[in-house]
Amino acid sequence: MPDSLFTTDAMREVFSGRARIARMLEFEAALAQAAADASVIPRAAADVIAGHCDVANFDIAAIERSMVRSGNLAIPLVAALTKHVGDGHDARRYVHWGATSQDAIDTGLVLQLRDALALIETDVGHLAATLAKRAREHADTLLAGRTWLQQALPITLGLKLAGFVSTLDRHRERIAAARERVLVLQFGGAAGTLASLDDQGLAIGEHLAKRLALHLPDMPWHTQRDRLCEVAAMLGMLTATLGKLGRDVALLAQTELGEAHEPGAPGRGGSSTMPQKRNPVSASVAIAASIRVPGLVATMLTAAVQEHERGLGNWPAEWETLPEIALLAAGALAAMIEVADGLDIDVNRMRSNLDLTQGLIFAEAVQTALAPTVGRDSAHALVAGACRRAIAERVHLRDILARDAAVSGALDAATLDRLFDPVCYLGESRAFVERALARYPATG
């Protein structure tokens, strides 16, 4: 399990050993009551079994140790539950009635995922709303847009942040859609037929799903693992977005740029030897998660190739992998929420950095203005040559262009001045920001 730097206490609790067993006991209690609902076992027996499904009464460590011999957690848990019900009690023989180990383990995991997705969805919403607020505040804040790590064209900070808002909104849609497919009951018995329940298997399944507030799938999915792979891939995409946000923040915080920084606080982002350091520690957490998660997603996809009706080592490969993906995603989310809530933005530095290239960042604007007169190819060659001279002579590009007869014949001084004003070459930046923030109305 990731340490506290890379996850949250809330998500750690969702996937704790205690919570895992509690969710499996929730399945066992609901199973007994569902069997009674279908008149398959006595109601009194079901009540006794359900009454003993309190995780507080179980030795978690002992059950986990026993898993080494049994091969999965359900076997020692069912044995412990049976023991709690008590020798000589009629209810004892109805424990785990009609189910198999995978039913308890998979359904327990689904119940954990329900809690995990609720936490993830809340935090994604928080981050999106915070970034939307910042994007609206900085819809007109000038910033150098960068491609291949070099200045390309002027953009706005609002445009950059709105891009993340738009992406996070899609992640929220994916979470909502995945919940419908993923939060389903697993109940199939030994080979997915529920044969031990005669003709009452589906009836019990319906009652069981209702009691657990899960969807009843069309059939058991013991070796059809697409649902869990969907969660893994979805969280992988989310973590990639968070890693990109962390990467962009870290790059903006570089000494040579100094355009934005993580929130400062005593002891935050410090160095053990350099007092001046202000390291982007939260960005580092998100980036680290985005590096670790893809391999885990690949493990889930690989594990999905399972044998016949019940898998061998591939099913156990999921048990720690999917929780770790959720834990890392939660940690990356928490880290970037902290950044977004307190992002330290240097608007003046952003504006001054636009001047670093001595006007080269406006080369496309000039080329576009010249093209209708001299043709696009000629305009490109003309401006490219002017850029080379500006670099060689260390002179502002506007001055080079003003001395060129071909340019001055097509563009007057006032037009040149406008072409070197970043506000005049932002295209649809404002419109894109407004479109991305449509679901986040401006507040006074």
CA distance 183 to 178: 8
pLDDT digits (tens, 9 = 90+) for 76-102: 999 999 999 987 678 999 999 999 999
Does residue 273 surpass a pLDDT of 70?
Answer: no
Six token digits for residue 373:
């007169």
Give me the torsion for CA of 291, 293, 295, 296, rounded to 10°: 160
Does residue 65 surpass a pLDDT of 80?
Answer: yes
Output phi, psi for 331, to 5 deg. -65, -40
Predicted confidence at residue 326, as pLDDT, reads: 97
Report the range of poorest mean pLDDT among 163-172, 225-234, 310-319.
310-319
Closest CA to 239 of 122, 323, 333: 333
Q: For residue 409, name the pLDDT band (cuts at 50, 70, 90).
A: confident
More confident residue, 174 or 4: 174
Does residue 421 surpass a pLDDT of 90?
Answer: yes
Predicted confidence at residue 219, as pLDDT, reads: 97
For range 111-129, the mean pLDDT: 98
CA distance 385 to 367: 11
For range 402-410, the mean pLDDT: 89
Does residue 372 surpass a pLDDT of 80?
Answer: yes
| Residues sharing a CB contact under 8 Å with residue 209, sequence separation 6 or more, in sequence order | 184, 185, 187, 215, 216
Pairing of β 260-261 and β 344-345: antiparallel
Predicted confidence at residue 332, as pLDDT, reads: 97
Q: For residue 441, name the pLDDT band (cuts at 50, 70, 90).
A: confident
Predicted confidence at residue 287, as pLDDT, reads: 97
* Range list of H helices, 90-156: 101-137
Six token digits for residue 146:
């960068």
pLDDT digits (tens, 9 = 90+) for 308-365: 999 888 999 999 999 999 999 999 999 999 999 999 999 999 999 999 999 999 999 9
For range 49-68, the mean pLDDT: 95
More confident residue, 270 or 167: 167
Does residue 5 surpass a pLDDT of 90?
Answer: no
β-pair partners for 215 = 184
Predicted confidence at residue 267, as pLDDT, reads: 59
For range 369-385, the mean pLDDT: 91
Predicted confidence at residue 230, as pLDDT, reads: 97
Positions marked active-site: 271, 310
CA distance 12 to 9: 5
Output phi, psi for 93, to 5 deg. -80, -5
* Range list of H helices, 304-362: 314-342, 347-353
Domains present along the chain, CATH in parentheses = 9-349 (1.20.200.10), 360-419 (1.10.40.30)
Enumerate long-range contacts of 75-78, CB under 8 Å, 24 or more apart.
75/101, 77/21, 77/24, 77/25, 77/28, 77/104, 78/28, 78/104
Six token digits for residue 398:
């506007």
For range 223-246, the mean pLDDT: 98
